[in-house]
Structure 1
């Protein structure tokens, strides 16, 4: 108690001195007397109010800082997990059931599929269908003509020649969905067999798409240079979604560097 009383007296004394200094140059009638406890009490109350306001402001700022620190910590943890986990964007390795060794991990392998090559309302993209489908509770809805359709896929030859492996004409196409282990981006580059600086090659092969005169739209995909046939698949001509090699056509396409009717390569790169 004695220590607290001494501290209070010291504070009051300092306050008195400050008030005297502030008013020492004013009129004599306005000078503050050290013996005026009412005025001192008013000033003390005012200062306490300002101090409380300042403390509340500091506390609010501390709460904001703690919130920001929490957000930063959360982002750092997520980044750390991402770095530990590695990887990010997935890609499809067309024509293979496995993924590039050491660089990626296999998510699943399956069957290449898509729309029928001659349907005008066909979906454009190739898809990699899993080997273990979950057909779901609505699989037995009544069939009608108002639906999209899914088919398997086959390699097609050009005048008996195909870049997708020997005797691959009409063979069914496998696929593998791959996830990079320590890369976050994947990029398919047409007409290249190597990656640009700063990128790592996953695989290279032949550019493929649907045949130009067919009704159905398609997309360009990269079929692995060591393409396989689907295990257990036949070589009967069942059609479906078709893989044709892609030839360059000069005109709006600059030649050189491209050459008329030359087949195009492709590469999938990681970063």
Structure 2
């Protein structure tokens, strides 16, 4: 048994010695070293390629991140703008409308739709003046004057009162209203934000609400002064306590259709033109 053990140990010793000797021989072999170096260089190149690929991906992701940040800034700016517009809309709705218009021929405003800003007297330029202003004004009954002193000057504009006018005693603006002074009222809508005067209509188009209707009015076509079309209320009234005399000034006449360049039909000659003020 002891002999067997001794022989086994001796064989193992020689085997181990042979392995070490083989390794020493391989490490001193130039071909083996070159193979190992070539292998290591291949692995290094592979790693370098992977690093370059990762760097390229990182640059792409960085560019994408920059684009997303710019997009986020744009979206934020648009969000802020939308929020501002919503606030303005809420404010407009909370204010309850805001459209204003003049109701000619009345000193009150349409009930339940508008509120009275002020009432007063229609006025404007003299109908016979060639330098007259075209638009009539709704003059308040409580004027305030400039606190200034100027040298008297004849080169000025003039303002006069307004009268209902017709060659007949009865006019579109009520019986015996000829030469009566014209009242007016400035009205503000409590529910609507826009208003429009539509000539040749007694009703509003779909989606619009009627404030009042009446007769289209302007100056006499042969007079010197330029005039403007306005809508006089169908239930026109004179100024309470006003003068019933022919002072001229601004004259409110009815308006008739005159065919030619005006298409007839649908318009018809010698008919008075209606009007309506609509809100939305």
Q: Which of the five TM-score ranges fits, normalised by the shorter chain?
A: 0.7 to 0.9
Q: What per-residue deviation string (whole Å, max 9, x for no partner) do you get for residues 123-168 of structure 1?
A: 1111111222232234x32231222111111111232221111221
Q: How many residues align?
A: 239
1:183 is matched with which residue? 192
The one of 261, 265, 270 aligned to 2:274: 265
2:251 is matched with which residue? 242
Q: How far 1:182 moved relative to its partner?
A: 1.7
Q: How far 1:57 moved relative to its partner?
A: 6.7
SS at match of 1:78: helix
1:5 is matched with which residue? none
Q: How far 1:229 moved relative to its partner?
A: 1.0
Residue pair 2:169, 2:176 contacting (<8 A) in 1 also: no
Q: Which runs of 5 or more residues in structure 2 are unaligned?
A: 1-40
2:118 is matched with which residue? 108
For 1:254 and 1:67, how far apart are their aligned partners in 2?
52
Q: Which runs of 5 or more residues in structure 1 are unaligned?
A: 1-25, 34-39
For 1:175 and 1:189, how far apart are their aligned partners in 2?
18
- RMSD between aligned residues: 2.9
1:28 is matched with which residue? 43
2:102 is matched with which residue? 92
For 2:80 and 2:165, how far apart are their aligned partners in 1?
57
Q: How far 1:216 moved relative to its partner?
A: 0.2
Q: How far 1:225 moved relative to its partner?
A: 0.7
CA shift in 2, pair 1:251/1:64, >3 Å: closer
For 1:47 and 1:250, how far apart are their aligned partners in 2?
78
Q: How far 1:86 moved relative to its partner?
A: 2.9
Scaled by the length of structure 2, the TM-score of the pair is 0.74
- Determine which structure has more spread, i.e. the larger CA radius of gyration: 2
Scaled by the length of structure 1, the TM-score of the pair is 0.77
For 1:76 and 1:57, how far apart are their aligned partners in 2?
28
For 1:246 and 1:47, how far apart are their aligned partners in 2?
79
Q: How far 1:100 moved relative to its partner?
A: 0.7
Residue pair 2:214, 2:275 contacting (<8 A) in 1 also: yes
Q: How far 1:224 moved relative to its partner?
A: 0.3
CA shift in 2, pair 1:158/1:258, >3 Å: farther
